[in-house]
Structure 1
């Protein structure tokens, strides 16, 4: 099979039929062998019934229903596990991503050898103050921290080699950073393509301004895990040892000074009256706690068990 189209959605009953017809028209016109995997992320409208009807009439349509709303990252993770195509395309269900982009995205992966191609909505039809400007600031920070020269980390329209989606784990709210997750797994041939962005036709966006705050926090998290996720002792242990040594040396200097003054009968205050004594003691305790945190991190890594982060209520096809 050439293509797997993975589409997470939440309450998109009006968009689904039009998106399905548009997808089939484009994919059949280009003679692709394909499957379309819809992940119903706990929709409360008629999305589930519409998807089931599509699945019953077209075996190429596969449907995953979540028990409740778990989020886009979990939906993508569930969809990636089910893909059978050589190339995987992700897109949103709100008709803002155009299926007309799929043939060229497929060509970039299949013929030009990219591991991942991320869409860039160079011209957007969103609110300038609430989405466009915050998005530009967010993407600038993401480029700086990740080292990837992508203009639009938030774009849902992306193409991947099958090996990429089978070797990355998308969790929490990390769907924004799939290119960075892929890079951390050794998939370095990552490209970008300008894609057409369309104004939302039905309903309203499911993401608020808080996604940018969470996005920055997630970016810090993924940077930390990419650097120290498999070796927490390297960070916490080194910080702990350094702080303990600073505290110990400070306490040693205080003690040596006290002995010198006692030996030479020089009047001096009590050690407990010296503020540097308490500073040294606090630094040594904090250093010990950092070292302990690193040790516990290593222990957790060696004993952790994979747990499912979502519950699937039903699948179709």
Structure 2
């Protein structure tokens, strides 16, 4: 009987975590900077909005103190060199990889797909990642003390988030879950789903960077009014679905044209405005989106 009770607790807690996790692709697809490379403070904003959206659509609000740990975990996933594993190209089934068709001058090497990195504790525990943190924590001294047991560790996988939660270590669980949130957020970025390392030259990075906890998109609440939670069965399904949408419907700077190895997106027609030509394509939601821009003649 006691064993059955324990199993019920484990499954209920796991279900709660999964329910919380499923809203990321929805939030990201609604944000105005979906085709962007996210800076650390933008990741913090995405996580904050995710929490608010979840609380507004769930019968069980997250604990009030969970917000800080989730946001800090999201930021800390960009500690070097973890970010090299934040790419997933669903068309060619690869992580960040050297591809002379895209960036012949950048010897990136080959790194793990983000969806595998999210669940590979063995890789995350390698000495490569056991280096001093490069990103400062935003937690208070008391909050840092609550997760002090794991601050020197490097395994922030989905399995570890669930394990901490089942054991009642909720602060550690939410901090670890923040790392997973970061990976899902990056999966909405075409640079990350089209194997484009974009070292400082993503046209969208500066635009996305203006959105942070101190500068929120004021139209976001209205954009999310008709949205609801999305629940899938496996973590892998969130990576696959969002990565395919991002890769198939948006260009990155260095992956425009079939010569880069990507045959889509393909425009349906061209529209001209103010001496610029815009390639337009209808997505599965029948919304017209800009696929590419080039300068027009005077």
With the length of structure 2 as denominator, give the TM-score of the two structures: 0.25
**Structure that is richer in strand per residue:** 1
Flag the structure with higher helix content.
1
Structure scoring higher RCO (CA < 8 A, sep ≥ 6) equals: 2
Highest CA radius of gyration, 1 or 2? 1
